[in-house]
Amino acid sequence: MRGPHNIWRLIRTGATLERTGAMAVVLEAFRAPASIRVAARLLGWPFKWLGLKGDPALPPATRALTALGPAYIKFGQILSTRPDIVGEELSQQLKYLQDQLPPFPRNVAMKMIEAELEVPVDQVFSEFSEPVAAASIAQVHRARLADTGEEVAVKVLRPGIERAFRKDIDAFYLIARTIEIVAPQTRRLRPMDVIAHFEGVVMGELDLRLESSAAAEFAANTEKDEGFRVPKPVWFLSGKTVMTLGWAEGIGMNDNAAIDAAGHDRKVLAARVLSLFLNHALRDGFFHADMHQGNLKVGADGAIIAYDFGIMGRIDEYTRRVYAEILMGFIRKDYRRVAEVHFEAGYVPADRDIDEFARALRAVGEPIFGMDASRISMARLLAYLFEVTERFGMQTRTELILLQRTMVVVEGVARSLDAHINIWQVARPVVESYIAKNVGPAALIRDLLQTARVLGRFGPKLPRMVEAALIAQADPPKPLAPPRRRSRWYLIPLGVVVFAAGVGLGALI
């Protein structure tokens, strides 16, 4: 489905933003420079009549994103957690996207459940409610098991959601390719790889069997975490398009007024949500990667309840140690060590000046160290970080996208609960505990033992491997003739079309 025909979708995206009034709102929220504002309006205005109308009852940005489709809604959900970047007003508008989207009919959901589970709904559920929450990919119904009386949440995918997502992702590929052609300097950010990563994440989210598995693993990992609960899946009532979990009763974490009325301490909750995320990422290497307020509740006992496990992140032991050392370096204000870790991990090209990089990192850390969140401009910080990555030739690490994105979202959730939270103060005990156990002599001995175990498994195969290597060295294979190059003249018309679109759309994007 990829190709120039997706230019139509991009034109309609700009036209929809213009028709709904979202273009001006978004440009203002991101403080776009005058040149970008003029270019975007000139590109959007002539095609305004082609845009989707959306729901006139919704605010402009929310109206545009809901009309454009699920992938755009996902983007809006992330922005809704960052009022410090997009502004308080736009952030509040976008929270509608977290779990208040228009649902599809109850009878359609029941038919989908019966088709998936091959059993009548009234045979397994004695009660089955109207939708209680609806998001971009699925909606949730409250139900009661017929045999035990246990209350459960039944999640059902939206009809046709996979096809809708694929259309959006195809258009995103064209955006990424156009950006690479029009602005070659962006290739270090690997936009095509980023979209491919996003596609993999989303396609996994559309199989609820994988989400059930993630929920079970996450529940097992966090079973002993104080003040945190994860509903467990009901496996025999779960499939690809349907998932059944234990019901989680609580107050949505996006409702500060209700949290205060219930007597919960928001400062405690803010610190807990941040420290829990760090613990899960560092201790387990498996973390909830979609932790916006719409996926979190506060139980009657003050515990944080997480749900919606469609997007989970996993990082290996080495990456966890790198991440912990970078955080610890910032906490200790040891910017030279932070720079060294970046070079050792290959995040910065070896030909760059390590002292200059350390100085740039100091300019990042010093203005925010010891500050409460209300005195930190995350928008300016992210802008400067982008400048640093460009200056030192740092490429996007697709394996870290979920970790970095979730850190931004979680920090935004913590800020929404406690505007004066000191993120370094909260992070310090978690990071120090991890480093004490995993960086040092004890960790070295553990690594050596693990290496010995791995090598031991290859012991019986070593003689044959050595013999095969010696034979190959004595009689190397003859090199194959290089394949004949195929003509690529047919790509010229396509390139012209994409370039023409890119010149116009680059500024808008």
DSSP state of 281: I
Biggest alpha carbon distance in the chain?
Answer: 80
| Catalytic hit among 99, 168, 290, 418 | 290
DSSP state of 104: P
Residue for token digits 């870290």?
Answer: 400
Residue for token digits 């949500």?
Answer: 273
296-298 and 251-252 beta bridge pairing: antiparallel
Residue 461 CA from chain centroid, whole number? 42
Give the separation between CA 250 and CA 228, rounded to whole angstroms: 12
Q: Yes or no: say if 422 and 371 are a contact pair by the CB < 8 Å rule.
A: yes
End-to-end Cα distance, the chain: 21
Give the separation between CA 48 and CA 45, rounded to whole angstroms: 5
Angle of the 266-279 helix axis to the 423-438 helix axis, nearest 10: 30
User: Vertex 322, ends 318 and 323: CA angle to 5°?
Assistant: 115
Give the separation between CA 28 and CA 331, rounded to whole angstroms: 34
User: Vertex 131, ends 126 and 135: CA angle to 5°?
Assistant: 140
Q: Yes or no: say if 131 and 103 are a contact pair by the CB < 8 Å rule.
A: yes
Helices (H), 151-237: 161-182, 191-205, 208-221
Query: Which pairs from 77-81 meet CB under 8 Å and 24+ separation?
Result: 77/135, 77/136, 77/292, 77/294, 78/292, 78/405, 78/408, 78/409, 80/292, 80/293, 81/292, 81/293, 81/408, 81/409, 81/412, 81/413, 81/416
Strand partners, 153: 142, 245
What sign results for the dihedral spanned by CA atoms 342, 348, 350, 351? Answer: negative
What sign results for the dihedral spanned by CA atoms 142, 147, 150, 154? Answer: negative
Q: Yes or no: say if 364 and 384 are a contact pair by the CB < 8 Å rule.
A: yes
Q: Is 447 known to be catalytic?
A: no
What sign results for the dihedral spanned by CA atoms 118, 121, 126, 131? Answer: positive
* Residue 139 DSSP SS3: strand
Q: Yes or no: say if 336 and 344 are a contact pair by the CB < 8 Å rule.
A: no
Q: Yes or no: say if 434 and 324 are a contact pair by the CB < 8 Å rule.
A: yes
Token pair, residue 508, equals 């808008």
Q: Which residues are catalytic?
A: 290
